[in-house]
Structure 1
Amino acid sequence: MLKTMPPKSFLNYIWPMRVLKMRYKWFLVFVINFVSLGAFAQKESYIQSLNHKNHWVDSVFKKMNRRKKIAQLFFIRANTDKGQAYEDSVAKVISDEQIGGLVFFQGGPVRQANLINRYQKLVKVPLMITMDGEWGLGMRLDSTISYPFQMTLGAIQDNKLIYKIGQFVAYDFKRMGMQMNLGPDMDVNNNPDNPVINYRSFGDNKYSVAAKGIAYMQGMQSEGLLTSAKHFPGHGDTNVDSHLDLPLLPFSRERLDTLEEYPFREAIKAGISGIMIAHMNIPALDTTKKLPSTLSRPIVTGVLKDSLGFKGLIVSDAMEMKAVTNYFPEGEADVRAFLAGNDIIELSENSGRAIKLIRKVVRKGGISKQEFEARVKKVLAAKYWTGLNHYQEVSTGNLAADLNRPAAKELVQQLSDAAVTLLKGDANALQMNPLLKTAIISIGVTQPTVFQQELARWYPNSAFFQVGKNTPESELKALLTVLAQYDQIFVSINDTRARPASKLDYSIPVKQFITAIAAHQNSLFSVFANAYTLSTLPGIEKCSALLECYQMTDELQRSAVKIILRQMNPIGRMPVTVKALFYTGEGIRLQ
């Protein structure tokens, strides 16, 4: 479809009494402030808290029978977009089983806050509430802030900004009554065709992934939020989605040690509170056929706990995923995950059945008394560390405003400004001539974009064109004839999908149209799509200037326009290599 539009001791002397009193007063103020700051700085981390006995934890543990202790290890699914019957069914499981926690998925913030308040009233030991928030609450909840995807953050060179995101995400989670974020993703995405990680990773460089993942984690934990790096030992080099089947990781132990495990090893050194295990078959670590790593004691306990010395929470990936249920049905997967060493068993198909099965295993001595006690107490210690020993209801007053505060929106724009990457061109190729006849084209959309509207304010002699994903070839040829009359062309490539894949869902004629425009003498392309899509657009590298902007958001579109207008310099760097076109770390800085 086509549309056209424009921060010598005084005790050695004898001082007058008044001066002494004044100095003594200020000395006391200094000491009090010093002690206060020291106490804040020395607030122990969750990992540190595990090194000593905890009266609350011991007291709660002693009051529970074996079944209820096992139930503390189970976290079940919750939503607020599935209706009253679904919410009631979850409430019944919580009440009957007295499970340890919830993992929330899609819904709305106020509805979820109300539901958390309702569910917490059903248990004797407060529930620990978690959610996948790799890019904040917006990953699951409507009407909330979405920070840039981790691949976009991978282009940012200042990791202090990544730490700041962590602080902001922690605020949002705690404001919602949640205690743990199932993130960050610390997979090294070195497979462009990865169908499940991809844009969720910081990139394909293990050092960058580790540094950014640690910054994000430390930001969250500094504000009292538990975190869980995922997906150990690394889900970045797979071409199978573990939601659908069991991926095979065929690499050597040496390769896994030096590449996939690297970010997790560094995160453990940095004090990360939790790690999620991936569902992958890894023969180099466990030769059992068709055995997901989540269910493998040699991997969960042998590698992660014993070899790497991780003492925090070990979280299974969702036990309802096909990578597990296809091979270990009827609760066998839950038992194996428990025996493997997982502390939190997430999203069991049937938690009631699983608790009964594991109770039999514990009763028969399938696991030592010491290990069982330590794992239950680890979950209880996490609840204590996050303040659930003094549980308070979530206040819904001003909730929407608090979650959409101006400071958060400003941070999103700041992050976007720091991410945009110039891959080709100079100052002249970017700005071009505002007086010349200008075409501003947005591809993959049917309505004018923010990119077009912002640029048009500075290019008065301009016209808008929209090209849909499947615009007929005849219309595209006609448009090329029209565009031949324009002196310069600005083009935005847009991926409107919620999850930007490595390949654009454009028709072949539309891709050929892009190739033709790139050959224009004065053409500038801004790609608001996954960086890997560059390899699927033949000839785009022939354009006069090329900006990689990673995803389609209003903020990134404004950032691109600011760079085009030379209001700021591009400072982003490619987080991944795109075949032979562009390489990790590449990016032009203008003087």
Structure 2
Amino acid sequence: MHRLLLLLSLLAMLGGPMNFAQAQDELEQRVEALLAQMPLEVRLGQLFMVSFFGEGLNEASRQFMRQMMPGGVGVFASNGVSPAAVTRSTNAWQALAVQIGAKVPLLIATDQEGGTVQRLNDGFTPFPWGTALSAMPFEQTALVARMTATELRAVGVNMNFAPVADLYHPEGRFMSKRVLGHDAKRVGEAVAAYVRALQASGVIATLKHFPGHGAAADSHLALPTVALDRQQLERELLPFRYGIAADAEVVMVAHLSVPSLDPTPNLPATLSKPIVSGLLRGELGFKGVIITDAMDMGGIRQGFTPAQAAVRAVQAGVDMLATGPNLPLSEQLSMKRALLEAVLSGAIPRAQIDESVRRILRLKAKYGLLTWQALDELSAAERVQSAAHRAALESIYLRTVALVRPAPALLPLDPQRLKIGLIYPGVYSSLPNVCGVYGALTRRLAYSLVPTEDELAIAREINAQVDVAVVFSFNIDEYPLQARLVNTFAPQKTVVVALQSPYDALQGIQPAGYVTLFNPYPEAFRAACAVLYGAFPSKGTFSLP
């Protein structure tokens, strides 16, 4: 639907009749006209999503841009943290882009997943993230995507490296807090809802990290291996299939060795023709832009120079190379020179470069990115609308908290009938006050993330004094001594509320009641207490594997 609307908008701008086929033809003509006027070196520049340090442009980055003539720029923390600062940077980049090369504006992308991977923070909204996005009703998932798009567009960002389409695996701790869950179908439905809403709001979505990073170690450090057979990988691919069916415009390929898809030793998926062209482009039928994960990561650099990796990635079928924030400008330029040499030598067909550039230009045209207008820096914070979005989070989290084990003998909490003890991480000191509005607490204990012997002794005292112990846990997989704290309390009188990882219940604990918040944010705290005390029914959907 968003493609239809964009094409019809383009046609309306050109003054033609409202005919879809003609609109598409007009778009293709514009793309071909742009391509025809691009020398090879300019075309190659479109294949790069570059990065550089600092706000705006200094002399070094300005000269780099003139040489690289990139198709896109990635936004990281060094490029600005406030709405005004980010807008200042994106304005400067676009102002130069429309003066150089083909004079085509940039794709400007960032990682705004939420939570631990949210590049824009100061003055922006901390949106729900990870499994919260699949636990909430999907209309709420779509609302989060729309609000995210509003904030990104407000500062000149037109592409989001989200949603994460990977699945939870107990052994894959690196991605465990970022994935949308373990249920492939539900994750796929959430991914599709997010993609449709983000792109309908004018921001390009990116499915990542193909063909599935959930079971792998950290690819920033080294090349991890996904030890799943082809049948098991079908489950990993399901969220990507949902996202592609929802018309996701971009797929990011990860630096993963996947022997069941390509047995070549130590070959990242980013450089694998069977994975990029065979599986993604062929079997899954993806017709959009394929981009690499950052080329400064250990998963690619341990076996290849940036120049070698650039050539191999394009030969595999990648359209766009994301250089990443830690690759020196000289090495980014070496990647472009290597591609030029490969095309001139015949190692990469020129027709393949042209097709990739077409995809990139087509994407820009669809989203109105062949023209550019500067944004006012002073009103950037107002355009972001973070205050309104923060207010909306209250309602969203009320519909996200999931009651996984109901424990009807304990829940909803009744302070008139039961003596209640509240046990919580001391770093979240507001929790007793938030829950305390519903009634007096008999005992409370603020514990360290790694509980001490003294805290365990106090827990034993509380166990003897209360009818129900409400224990807020925080990522027991990272802080396993918390399981010992939980198990200090009699299971039949214990309700565990997982503040972040919904998989705390798999870490050797057996409480009678289990509730998941997904994100340790104040809005989620208020929602959890409302559900615990029966002030609001649980509407989140989550079940343990």
CA distance in structure 2 between the partners assigned to 1:276 and 1:551 by the alignment: 25
CA distance in structure 2 between the partners assigned to 1:76 and 1:423 by the alignment: 44
Residue 542 (structure 1) aligned with residue 511 (structure 2): yes
Equivalent residues of 2:75, 2:110 under 8 A apart: yes
Structure of larger gyration radius: 1
Aligned pair partner of 1:552 in 520, 524, 528: 520
CA distance in structure 2 between the partners assigned to 1:399 and 1:301 by the alignment: 41
CA distance in structure 2 between the partners assigned to 1:244 and 1:556 by the alignment: 33
Residue 266 (structure 1) aligned with residue 262 (structure 2): no
Equivalent residues of 2:111, 2:117 under 8 A apart: no
Cα deviation, 1:238-297, whole Å, max 9, x if unaligned, reads 2x21111112224333443x3222222232233221111111122232222111110112
Aligned length: 520
| Residues 137/42 of structure 1: CA separation in 2 closer, same or farther (3 Å cut) | farther
Residue 343 (structure 1) aligned with residue 314 (structure 2): no
Q: Which amino acid aligns with 2:151?
A: D
1:50-449 → structure 2 map (5 Å cutoff): 54-78=28-52, 89-106=60-77, 107-108=80-81, 109-123=83-97, 124=100, 125-135=104-114, 139-143=118-122, 144-156=124-136, 158-189=137-168, 191-238=169-216, 240-256=217-233, 258-347=234-323, 349=327, 350-427=331-408, 429-435=410-416, 438=419, 440-446=421-427, 448-449=429-430
Equivalent residues of 2:421, 2:441 under 8 A apart: no
3-state secondary structure, aligned to 1:392: coil
CA distance in structure 2 between the partners assigned to 1:489 and 1:183 by the alignment: 38
Cα deviation, 1:486-535, whole Å, max 9, x if unaligned, reads 45443322x3xxxxx661326x3x5423211344x644332212022222
Equivalent residues of 2:213, 2:254 under 8 A apart: yes
In the alignment, what sits opposite 1:5? none
TM-score (norm 2): 0.87
In the alignment, what sits opposite 2:542? 574
Aligned pair partner of 1:504 in 475, 478, 484: 478
Residue 514 (structure 1) aligned with residue 486 (structure 2): yes
Equivalent residues of 1:436, 1:488 under 8 A apart: no
Equivalent residues of 1:154, 1:575 under 8 A apart: no
3-state secondary structure, aligned to 1:516: coil
Equivalent residues of 2:456, 2:488 under 8 A apart: no
**1:547 Cα deviation (Å)?**
1.4
Cα deviation, 1:338-371, whole Å, max 9, x if unaligned, reads 1111111001632210111110111122233322
CA distance in structure 2 between the partners assigned to 1:294 and 1:203 by the alignment: 24
| Residues 471/533 of structure 1: CA separation in 2 closer, same or farther (3 Å cut) | closer
Q: Which amino acid aligns with 1:248?
A: T
CA distance in structure 2 between the partners assigned to 1:192 and 1:137 by the alignment: 19
Q: Which amino acid aligns with 2:511?
A: K
Which runs of 5 or more residues in structure 1 are unaligned? Answer: 1-36, 496-500, 578-591
Cα deviation, 1:205-251, whole Å, max 9, x if unaligned, reads 2211211111100001112221111111222222x211111122243
In the alignment, what sits opposite 1:454? 434
| Residues 311/461 of structure 1: CA separation in 2 closer, same or farther (3 Å cut) | closer
Q: Which amino acid aligns with 2:265?
A: K
| Residues 386/316 of structure 1: CA separation in 2 closer, same or farther (3 Å cut) | same
Equivalent residues of 2:306, 2:332 under 8 A apart: no
CA distance in structure 1 between the partners assigned to 2:59 and 2:544 by the alignment: 45
Cα deviation, 1:181-215, whole Å, max 9, x if unaligned, reads 111111222x1121332222221222112111111
CA distance in structure 2 between the partners assigned to 1:447 and 1:188 by the alignment: 28
Q: Which amino acid aligns with 1:228?
A: T
- Percent same amino acid at aligned positions? 24
Equivalent residues of 1:79, 1:104 under 8 A apart: no
Q: Which amino acid aligns with 1:532?
A: Y
TM-score (norm 1): 0.80
Q: Which amino acid aligns with 1:516?
A: T
Q: Which amino acid aligns with 1:352?
A: L
CA distance in structure 2 between the partners assigned to 1:380 and 1:313 by the alignment: 10
CA distance in structure 2 between the partners assigned to 1:305 and 1:62 by the alignment: 25
CA distance in structure 2 between the partners assigned to 1:39 and 1:469 by the alignment: 51
In the alignment, what sits opposite 2:16? none
3-state secondary structure, aligned to 1:207: helix
Equivalent residues of 2:151, 2:385 under 8 A apart: no
CA distance in structure 2 between the partners assigned to 1:433 and 1:317 by the alignment: 50
Equivalent residues of 1:438, 1:459 under 8 A apart: no
In the alignment, what sits opposite 2:14? none
CA distance in structure 1 between the partners assigned to 2:476 and 2:26 by the alignment: 48
